[in-house]
Structure 1
Amino acid sequence: MTQTAIPYLFLRGGTSRGPYFLRADLPEDLDTLSEVLIAAVGAGHPLNIDGIGGGNAVTTKVAMLSASERDDCDVDYFFAQVTVEKREVDYRPTCGNIMVGVGPAAIELGLVAAQDGETPVRIHAVNTGAVVEAVVQTPGGHVLYDGDFAIAGVPGTAAPIRLGFMETVGSVTGALLPTGNIRDVIDGVEVTCMDVAMPVMMARASDFGLTGYETQKELDENRAFYDRAEPIRLKAGELMGLGDVSKSVTPKITLLAEPRNGGSVTARYFMPWTCHPSMAVTGAQCIAACAILPGTVADGLSEGLAGQFAPLTVGVEHPMGTFEVVVDFEHQGDGVAIRSAGVVRTARLLARGEVMVPSRVWKGFS
Structure 2
Amino acid sequence: MSQFSVPCVVYRGGTSRGLFFNESDLPKESTCREKIFLDGIDAYNLSQVNGLGSGTSHTSKVVVIGPPSVEGADVDYTFYQIGIGEKVVDAKGTCGNLMAAVGAYAVDEGFVSSDTVEESMIVYAFNTNIQKMIRLIVPTVDGKAKVSGTYQMAGLQLPGAKYAVDILSPGGGKLGSTFPLGPKFELSLKEKQIPVSVVDIVNPFVYLSAESLGLSESDLFTDLSSDEALLNQLESIRCEMSVHMGLTNSIEEAAAAPAIPKIAIVSEPIDYITTSGTAIKKEEVDIVAKMVSMGRFHRTFAGSGLYNLAAAALLPGTIPNRCTNRELVDDKSIVRIGHPDGIAEVRVGLTKNQRDVDYVGLDRTARRVMKGELYIPHE
TM-score by length of 1: 0.93
Preserved CA contact (<8 Å) 1:216 1:277? no
Change (3 A) 1:141 1:88: same
1:220 aligns with 2:225: yes
Preserved CA contact (<8 Å) 2:183 2:317? no
Preserved CA contact (<8 Å) 2:107 2:143? no
> How do 1:1-366 residues align onto structure 2 when only pairs under 5 Å count?
1-114=1-114, 116-187=118-189, 188-214=193-219, 218-243=223-248, 244-248=253-257, 249-260=259-270, 261=281, 262-305=284-327, 308-332=329-353, 336-360=355-379
Q: What is the DSSP-based 3-state SS (H/G/I as helix, E as strand, rest coil) of the residue aligned with 1:225? A: helix
AA paired with 1:208? Answer: L
Deviation at 1:9, TM superposition (A): 1.0
Change (3 A) 1:350 1:216: farther
Preserved CA contact (<8 Å) 2:314 2:326? no
Structure 1: distance between partners of 2:83 and 2:218: 26
Preserved CA contact (<8 Å) 2:183 2:318? no
AA paired with 2:181? Answer: T
AA paired with 1:257? Answer: S
What per-residue deviation string (whole Å, max 9, x for no partner) do you get for residues 247-306 of structure 1? 22111001001112311110111114111111112111111121111211124320133x
Residue of structure 2 equivalent to 1:364:
none
Deviation at 1:178, TM superposition (A): 1.1
AA paired with 1:259? Answer: P
AA paired with 2:269? Answer: P
- Segment drifting more, 58-67 vs 239-248: 239-248
Q: What runs of 5+ residues in structure 2 fail to find an aligned partner?
A: 271-280
Preserved CA contact (<8 Å) 1:44 1:85? yes
Deviation at 1:112, TM superposition (A): 1.6
Deviation at 1:211, TM superposition (A): 2.6
Preserved CA contact (<8 Å) 2:174 2:203? yes
Structure 2: distance between partners of 1:15 and 1:214: 23
Q: What is the DSSP-based 3-state SS (H/G/I as helix, E as strand, rest coil) of the residue aligned with 2:317? A: coil
Structure 2: distance between partners of 1:278 and 1:320: 5
Counting matched residue pairs gives 357
What per-residue deviation string (whole Å, max 9, x for no partner) do you get for residues 96-123 of structure 1? 1111100111122222214522111101
Structure 1: distance between partners of 2:40 and 2:320: 40
Change (3 A) 1:149 1:186: farther
AA paired with 2:349? Answer: D
Preserved CA contact (<8 Å) 1:212 1:267? no
Q: What runs of 5+ residues in structure 1 fail to find an aligned partner?
A: 361-366
Q: What is the DSSP-based 3-state SS (H/G/I as helix, E as strand, rest coil) of the residue aligned with 2:240? A: helix
Preserved CA contact (<8 Å) 1:133 1:165? yes
Q: What is the DSSP-based 3-state SS (H/G/I as helix, E as strand, rest coil) of the residue aligned with 1:289? A: helix
Q: What is the DSSP-based 3-state SS (H/G/I as helix, E as strand, rest coil) of the residue aligned with 2:84? A: coil
What per-residue deviation string (whole Å, max 9, x for no partner) do you get for residues 59-87 of structure 1? 11111101111121001111110011111
Residue of structure 2 equivalent to 1:363:
none
Structure 2: distance between partners of 1:212 and 1:72: 44
Structure 2: distance between partners of 1:59 and 1:337: 31
